[in-house]
């Protein structure tokens, strides 16, 4: 089927799964606090519901840590209700916003100074959410993998268990060849677009939780 992650991503790109109509880093409004909020809200929620929550936050001017940190908890929970788990997500967003302001003073300073360990120490942030924030909000070299990635690889008969194993497989196959996929892009943006292609493919080829395998993955 496929030999490594470069082969996988090359096939996705040549078949048009690099969605050039989106943000240049694929995630909407990359480089902003909107990514941070979205990365937390999308946990156990589909993106359409997350967009409704983000629009509610945008209408209240809350897509900035200094505003969210001071917003009443119950009011915040009502705004993000469409994403589900609104009590825990609201608490996590407020606490994260407060920590950003306490320890960094501004979102821009946070973008420059935060690291993965700091994020993982925050309540409600696991490896996928941390890497999404680092890559899409902070433009760092963090490769995001998710349930789509794991399901696609399982459908391709790769038996990988856990986030770290899937991420390691994706990184190992790229191993310095990122620019062959995305000439002129920094490595961090290559990672962003690569993850985006996996998601775009899986959304177009899913039946419930099952990912269907197209002809593009057969040997040429």
How does pLDDT run across 139-160, given as a tens digit for each residue? 999 999 999 999 999 999 998 9
Q: Using CA atoms, how far apart are residues 191 and 25, in angstroms rounded to an integer?
A: 9
Place of tokens 């040997």: 219
Q: Are the CB atoms for 206 and 213 separated by under 8 Å?
A: no
How does pLDDT run across 153-206, given as a tens digit for each residue? 999 999 899 999 999 999 999 999 999 999 999 999 999 999 999 999 999 999
Q: Domain 5-23+142-217 has what CATH class?
A: mainly alpha
Residue 220 pLDDT: 54
Q: Which residue has the higher pLDDT, 217 or 103?
A: 103
How does pLDDT run across 60-105, given as a tens digit for each residue? 999 999 999 999 999 999 999 999 999 999 999 999 999 999 999 9
Domain with CATH 1.10.1670.10 in the chain: 5-23+142-217
Predicted confidence band of residue 215 (pLDDT cuts 50, 70, 90)? confident
Place of tokens 């606090």: 33
Q: Give, for 207, the enclosing helix (H) or strand (E).
A: strand 206-207
What is the SS3 assignment for 27? coil
Domain boundaries 33-137, corresponding CATH code: 1.10.340.30
Domain with CATH 1.10.340.30 in the chain: 33-137
Residue 178 pLDDT: 95
- Please give the model's pTM, rounded to 2 decimal places: 0.96
Place of tokens 């009590």: 87
Residue-wise DSSP of 166-209:
HHHHHHHHHTT-HHHHSTT--HHHHHHHHHHHHHHHHHHTEETT
């Amino acid at each position: 089927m496929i030999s490594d992650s470069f082969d996988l991503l090359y096939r996705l790109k040549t078949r048009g799964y690099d969605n050039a109509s989106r943000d240049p880093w694929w995630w909407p409004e990359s480089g902003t606090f909107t990514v941070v909020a979205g990365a937390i809200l999308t946990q156990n929620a589909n993106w359409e519901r997350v967009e409704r929550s983000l629009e509610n936050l945008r209408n209240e001017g809350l897509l900035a840590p200094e505003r969210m940190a001071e917003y009443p908890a119950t009011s915040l929970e009502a705004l993000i209700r469409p994403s589900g788990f609104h009590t825990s997500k609201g608490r996590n967003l407020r606490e994260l916003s407060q920590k950003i302001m306490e320890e960094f003073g501004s979102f821009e300073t946070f973008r420059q100074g935060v690291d993965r360990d700091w994020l993982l120490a925050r309540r409600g942030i696991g490896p996928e959410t941390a890497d999404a924030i680092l890559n899409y909000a902070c433009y760092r070299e963090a490769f995001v993998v998710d349930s789509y990635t794991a399901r696609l690889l399982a459908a391709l008969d790769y038996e990988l268990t856990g986030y770290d194993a899937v991420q390691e497989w994706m990184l190992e196959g790229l191993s310095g060849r990122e620019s062959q996929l995305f000439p002129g892009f920094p490595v961090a943006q290559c990672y962003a677009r690569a993850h985006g292609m996996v998601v775009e493919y899986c959304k177009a080829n899913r039946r419930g939780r099952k990912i269907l395998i197209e002809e593009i993955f057969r040997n040429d």
